[in-house]
């Protein structure tokens, strides 16, 4: 049986991958995460996931490597991780009362195997007061998350609906990954 490596330092992705298999190790991919805003975002997020997988696969050419990346998109604008608290406040103001997309790209790469895919979900936020936004940002939770929120944490109280894959919104589409692992013979 091949070794499976998760090319991510995200504790959420680690937790989600454990729903598919307990047999994996973790090695963060050290790449520059840039996307071309002129190209279709689903393609770009898959390209980023593949770059992460390829960076780790280069060091472990006999292993299966899973790369993943998630972006939040509002009106065509990518909302990455906030630079600071003010940036998080700005993003949450923009998301308040609106529906946005969450794209999670995955790539499973191994000897003679390379498959990429993307999960697209829609998340709707309730209208948030300024006090609610400031309280949530002060918790520190949004500062290391794309779009300045984590659906699995305190932000859940502001989310009125989702259409798509909850696990993908958290950072890893479990069913999709499970199917890729089966295709790879893992």
Q: Active-site residues: which are they? A: 69
Which H, E and C letters describe the chain, residue by residue? Answer: CCCEEECCCCHHHHHHHCCCCCCCEECCCCCCCCCCCCCCHHHHHHHHHHHHHHHHHCCCCCCEEEEEEEEEEECCEEECCCCCHHHHHHHHHHHCCCEEEEEEEEEEEECCEEEEEEEEEEEEECCCCHHHHHHHHHCCHHHHCHHHCCCCCHHHHHEEEEECCHHHHHCCCHHHHHHHHHHCCC
Do 91 and 148 touch, CB atoms closer than 8 A? yes
Do 119 and 166 touch, CB atoms closer than 8 A? no
Name the token pair of 23.
């047999």
């Amino acid at each position: 049986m091949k070794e499976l490596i998760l090319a991510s330092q995200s504790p959420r992705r680690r937790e989600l991958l454990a729903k598919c298999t307990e047999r994996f190790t973790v090695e963060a991919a050290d790449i520059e995460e840039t996307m071309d805003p002129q190209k279709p975002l689903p393609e770009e997020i898959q390209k980023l996931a593949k770059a992460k997988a390829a960076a780790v696969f280069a060091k472990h050419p006999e292993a299966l490597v899973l790369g993943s990346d998630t972006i939040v998109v509002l009106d065509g604008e990518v909302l990455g991780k906030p630079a600071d608290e003010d940036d998080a406040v700005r993003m949450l103001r923009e998301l308040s009362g609106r529906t946005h997309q969450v794209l999670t790209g995955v790539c499973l790469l191994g000897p003679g195997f390379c498959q990429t895919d993307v999960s697209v979900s829609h998340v709707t936020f309730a209208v948030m007061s300024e006090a609610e936004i400031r309280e949530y940002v002060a918790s520190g939770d949004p500062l290391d998350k794309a779009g300045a929120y984590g659906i699995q944490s305190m932000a859940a109280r502001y989310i009125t609906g989702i259409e798509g894959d909850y696990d993908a919104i958290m950072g890893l589409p479990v069913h999709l990954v499970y199917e890729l692992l089966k295709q790879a013979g893992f």
